[in-house]
Amino acid sequence: MAEINTGGGGGHKGGKVRSKKASTRVDLTPMVDLGFLLITFFMLATTLIKPQTMEINLPRNDKIEKKDQTLVKASKSITIILAKNNKIFYFFGDGKTDPVTKGPVQVQTADFSKTGIRQMLLDRNAPIVALIKELRKEKERIRMSDEEYRKKAAQVRSGDAAAIVMITATDEAKYDNLVNILDEMQICNVSKYAIVDLSTLHKDLIKDLDK
Amino acid sequence: MPKVKIARKSTLVDMTAMCDVAFLLLTFFMLTSNFTAKEPVKVETPTSISEIKIPETNIETILIDPKGKVFLGIDGQPHRINLLRSMGEAYKITFTPAELKRYSLRATTGVPMDQMKAFLNLPDEQIDNPNAQKGIPTDTTAGSEFRQWVYYAKKENDKIVIAIKGDKETPFPVIKTVMKTLQDLKQVRFNLITGLKEVPKD
């Protein structure tokens, strides 16, 4: 309580009639209550955290002429199929023949742990990952601006040696799976990816594995 | 008997300092936080390492709950009023100014057009019930309402940025339909709202 000392409000001398001096003490306890009420309101009604976003660009749906379609190099392409219970199936090539062994397609299983799909993507995209690491070191060394670093990084990621990923999912996959796989794309520096429909070819390939 | 005089100390505590602290904290919260919009359903977004912040204005939020119900909202009350009016014209429904105002106060709404008038006339206790909103129909076979909402939102505010806020457990087919509709409307750039995850050290 703030106290302005004028001597009033204390004992008053007996005998002589003195003019009643009103007490100048102000009790600030309700003010504090008010302050804490307002704090509580703001703490509950507002948030300090601004949500983050991931930016996505999808290809357009226009009917493209067959001859204009850029054919994806089979040896560099990976197809990832998201399935239920956070399982991932993937294979290399166009789904009909394995690009390396030229035999039937090998469908492999992975999950979202560090040794799962990320390991595979880092391996396949190894040259790009190494180049990005170099670029980051160079950024520190010559004090590159953020803008320039981003431009150069984008160039590196779209280089010829980059892996190309097609992402598709079964009906039982969850949104969480999609966001996680797009996140892995960012972590492994893959910029050439596309979200495609689940075709019958894909369905046949995972039929036996996706129980 | 001699009276033992106990020294009487004042029991009044000086509250000035406490008051100062309270108002300092209050000022901090007032200046550094933003009001959260009241959402019809609670959505837990997945996490990602992306650190791009959500834009503050000109944003269109598409909220998808774990059951697959779709809600849509844009920011700016005048924009919302114009959007509802355009949708009303497209579906041959006229809304009263009171209904338009009620709509413009809500951040995201997900009601099929034929139930919209009834929804906007619900009493206050019922309107915030999550079950009161059935979600915007998205099936593309019937020329979906969702597509109309997105189309008119873009017409209303050309600079609008689309942000999809889905729950972790949202089934993938709903997301696929939403993205397909956006692709059909040539809105190929959009954002996915996520929580923050640490960049893994490799």
Domain layout of chain A by residue ranges: 73-206
User: Given a cut of 60, is residue A64 above it in pLDDT?
Assistant: no
The pTM for the full model equals 0.73
Q: Identify the closest residue of chain B to A114 by CA–CA distance.
A: B200
B162: Cβ–Cβ under 8 A, 6 or more apart, which residues?
Answer: B60, B62, B150, B182, B187, B189, B190, B191
Tell me the per-residue pLDDT of A99-151, one tens digit each, with 9 for 90 and over.
666 666 777 777 777 777 888 888 888 888 888 888 888 888 887 788 887 78
ipTM of this complex > 0.85? no
- Partner B contacted by A1 (CB < 8 A): yes
- Partner B contacted by A16 (CB < 8 A): no
**Nearest by CB to A178, which of B49, B175, B182?**
B175
Judge contact between A82 and A181, C-beta under 8 A: yes
Give me the mean pLDDT over the A57-63 stretch: 63
Q: Confidence band (pLDDT; 50, 70, 90) for A33?
A: very high
State residue B93's pLDDT score. Answer: 85
User: Given a cut of 60, is residue A67 above it in pLDDT?
Assistant: no
* Burial status of residue A191 (CB atoms within 10 A of its CB: 0-12, 13-18, 19 or more): buried
- Partner B contacted by A128 (CB < 8 A): no
Q: Rounded distance, CA A209 to CA A107, Å?
A: 9
Contact B183 A43 (CB under 8 A): no
pLDDT below 70 — which residues of chain B? 1, 140-143, 200-202
Q: What are the chain B neighbours of A184 within 8 Å (beta carbons)?
A: none
Nearest of B95, B55, B90 to residue B75 by alpha carbon: B55
Which residues partner with A24 through β-bridges? none
Higher-pLDDT residue of A98 and B63 is: B63
Q: Rounded distance, CA A111 to CA A163, Å?
A: 19
∠ Cα A173 B188 B43 (to 5°): 45
Q: Confidence band (pLDDT; 50, 70, 90) for A37?
A: very high
